[in-house]
Structure 1
Amino acid sequence: MVTIVGCKQLSGKTAAKEAIPAGDTVMSCTANLPSRFAVNASTDSIVANGNSSREGMVKIPGGEFLMGAADKEGRPDEYPQHAVHVDGFWMDATEVTNAMFMKFVKATGYITTAERAPDWEELKKQLPSGTPRPADSLLVAASLVFTPPAKPIQLNDVSQWWQWVKGASWKHPQGPGSSIKGKENSPVVQVSWDDAMAYAKWAGKRLPTEAEWEWAARSGLTNQPYTWGNESVDKGQPKANIWQGHFPDRNTKGDGYDRVAPVKSFAANSYGLYDMAGNVWEWCADWYRPDYYNQAGSKKLINPAGPAASYDPEEPTVPKRVVRGGSFLCHASYCASYRVSARMKTSPDTGLEHTGFRCVKN
């Protein structure tokens, strides 16, 4: 099954006691989410294109920093701060665009997760014996589309603004009838972690670790909440593509955009990276655990690659990968994840209208 990201908090009392300390709180990313069975995409047939160019990338210096939230604005899984060293690397200056992803698809014939209808004969091999066949309506090629409600609602049920839409994919982000024509310079969305990995393999790159992502987002600033420093996101010139107005029913578009914005629509950080806050969430390589920072201890971590396995107390059987940076749906009242330390999670077979990625290279 698949899941999406949100920002409600869930008491740690519901977590597995052996995995999450009692009294902690963890993020809840689903609440009555519409269900659909998904499929995993394979990268076995993907071959690197042989292009070693660093065009469109910027060099990120190596260094040491305190990873995690330095103030009281963070969620529980952003603490405690811990010392991290990362070696230098190259990073895409922007999120991977529709044009870039189209080039990959044309070269490889790759079919994304959202475009694949689940095969029940293959799916049941991965499920407990005797699992009944799901309804045909769940075995369709589909992806999650943001569907704003017509009036203010309680923020405890994400299914009120997310819907599975048959035919939604990276080429049709909002379902049949929508298109990426004229949006070649916008971030590709509706791509799963598996899809992002396939692209990275073809491009001769990889997905960033969570530590690399945060180090790059901080761009040399120490203990600042945002990639641009400490000025509030709603002060001065628009700094990122986020939600203005009343979430999720009314977006005043104060930053000029209702949904995804073209890359480079806002100023880059001091490393030359665009949209490290807002616009679309970005997949990282790491598995997600809410208690991972607690495991770091006082020893400085060198190029950490995250936990060995995923654990989400809310959905213990569903593995999750880390996503970073927030999206056009982030709002202070619900999801202020445009902060550099903010972490989120989602299952690797999930595509969403507000999730994309960027790559790195050693």
Structure 2
Amino acid sequence: MSVLTELAAFHFLSLILFFLNLYGHLCVAELPENRKSEDSMVLVKGGVTEVGLEKPIIPQDGEGPIRKIDVPSFYIDKTEVTNAQFKRFVDATGYKTEAEKFGNSFVMQSFVSEEINSKITQSVASAPWWLPVDKADWQHPEGPDSSIKSRMDNPVVHVTWNDATEFCRWAGKRLPFEAEWERACNNGRPTRLFPWGNREKDKDGEWLLNIWQGKFPEENLAEDGHVGLAPVASYSSCHLGLHDMVGNVWEWTQDWHSVDHPKKPTITGPASGKDKVKKGGSFMCQKGFCYRYRCAARGNNSPDTSAYNLGFRCVKSEVPHPETDPTDSSTSANKHKTEL
């Protein structure tokens, strides 16, 4: 082969690699400094963050006005906490969730068996699809005749804010502040509806998140591939390596809920309140019913509320150390634990 031929081949190969790199990593190239990750967590670079919207889509939720908050760098879990991770916590501590102590939790009616449904005489007046199911908890998501045995990669649900706080504390982490959560969701771009942009489907018409398709609550078309909860990371994400920031399950945050925002807000939010802020929406949301699966959207529940579509993920201010992370089954701290 001549020198000229070798040079041509080299340049051709370089060109191919250039385009593979360009089109294969467009999503992660936006903020390369944020790509540093430690095992199951991702670094989100800090900065002044615009929380909320100048023109709120659901004003009564307190989406507006925009609050400018200085957010230090932090690490956030790539996925929502799973059943497997929560089981390791329970096995290690003997913790009982509040749903287990109360004896019931809320489940969407269409996911409850006919036998259990026939025994229930109450529902939520303003949302009759929510049923208080006896012995529904994180291990029995649809009630006592259900199990998580084959769903260990699903996000844990039926956990209250108090339960989530205890898990994060055990893991050496904490719940995110709303400003942190929102910065991680929109990557510091407040005009984005979703982590990847403003469309719910990709260019091929495939759904990018787990939400409701069909007339809620009686028609569930499951066009996104899931009738209900989806295993974490079922949908690819080009955004910082994070999955399911919107859709699938609501996620608890640290903040007390308020719709009246101060002129000089702080990252910690209100000093007190009755409810806690939750973010991200769930698989039960759709644009025509609950358009809250957006980065700037918000909901609220009391700290002792548990439900079939409510979970969480944790954050950490300093660099995490995977070798001592009790939530990671591959770490030395879990070598002697029973395999799930």
May I ask how many residue pairs the two structures share in their alignment? Answer: 268
Among 200, 208, 213, the residue aligned to 1:244: 213
Does residue 204 of structure 1 match 2:204?
no
1:3 aligned partner? none
Query: Deviation of residue 89 (structure 1)?
Result: 0.4
Q: What is the Cα deviation at residue 332 of structure 1?
A: 1.1
Cα distance in 2, alignment partners of residues 81 and 164 from structure 1:
37
- Structure 2 unaligned spans of 5+: 1-36, 112-123, 318-340
3-state SS in 2 of match to 1:214? helix
CA RMSD of aligned residues (A): 2.0
Write the distance in 1 (CA, Å) between the matches of 2:56 and 2:46: 27
**Aligned ranges for residues 1-362 of structure 1 at < 5 Å?**
54-76=38-60, 77-117=62-102, 141-148=103-110, 157-232=125-200, 236-292=205-261, 295=262, 297=263, 299=264, 301=265, 304-310=267-273, 319-362=274-317
Which string of whole-angstrom CA distances, capped at 9 and with x for unpartnered residues, describes residues 57-78 of structure 1? 1111112232112445233310
What are the superposed Cα offsets for residues 255-282 of structure 1, whole Å, 9 maximum, x if unpaired? 0111110001112242111000100000
Structure showing greater Rg: 2
Query: Which structure 1 segments of 5+ residues have no match?
Result: 1-52, 118-140, 150-155, 311-318
Identity of aligned residues (%): 45
Divergent runs of 4+, >6 A: none
Q: Distance in 1 between matches of 2:56 and 2:258?
A: 20
Give the match's secondary structure for 2:285: coil
Superimposed CA distance per residue, residues 176-213 of structure 1 (whole angstroms, 9 cap, x where no aligned partner): 11110111111000000110011011000000000000
Q: Distance in 1 between matches of 2:126 and 2:225?
A: 25
Equivalent pair of 2:229/2:249 in contact (CA under 8 Å): yes
1:74/1:341 contact within 8 Å kept: no
2-structure distance, mates of 1:328, 1:75: 22
Change (3 A) 1:234 1:263: same
Letter matched to residue 160 of structure 1:
P
> Any conservation in 2 of the 1:219–1:269 contact (CA below 8 Å)?
no
Q: 1:65–1:259: structure 2 CA closer, same or farther, 3 Å change rule?
A: same
Q: Tell me, in whole angstroms, the C-alpha distance in 1 between the residues paired with 2:243 and 2:155.
A: 11
Partner of 1:10: none
Inter-CA distance 249–159: structure 2 relative to 1 (3 Å threshold):
same
C-alpha separation in 2, matches of 1:328 and 1:222: 23
Question: Alpha-carbon deviation of 1:230?
Answer: 1.6
TM-score, length of structure 1 as denominator length: 0.71
- SS in structure 2 at match of 1:267: coil
Q: TM-score when scaled to structure 2?
A: 0.75
- What whole-Å deviation, never above 9, does each CA across 1:281-308 have from its counterpart, x for those lacking one? 000011001112xx1x2x4x45x11101
Distance 2:81 2:276 in 1: 18
> Residue 195 of structure 2: SS of its match in structure 1?
coil
Cα distance change of structure 1 residues 232 and 105 upon mapping to structure 2, 3 Å threshold: closer
Change (3 A) 1:338 1:345: same
Write the distance in 1 (CA, Å) between the matches of 2:211 and 2:86.
Answer: 24
Choose between structure 1 and 2 for higher RCO, CA contacts under 8 A separated by at least 6 residues.
Answer: 1
Decide whether the 8 Å contact of 2:153 with 2:231 is kept in 1: yes
- Answer yes or no: is the 8 Å Cα contact 1:287–1:322 preserved in 2: yes
Distance 2:248 2:105 in 1: 18
- Residue 65 of structure 2: SS of its match in structure 1? coil
Kept in 2: contact 1:197–1:207 (CA 8 A)? yes
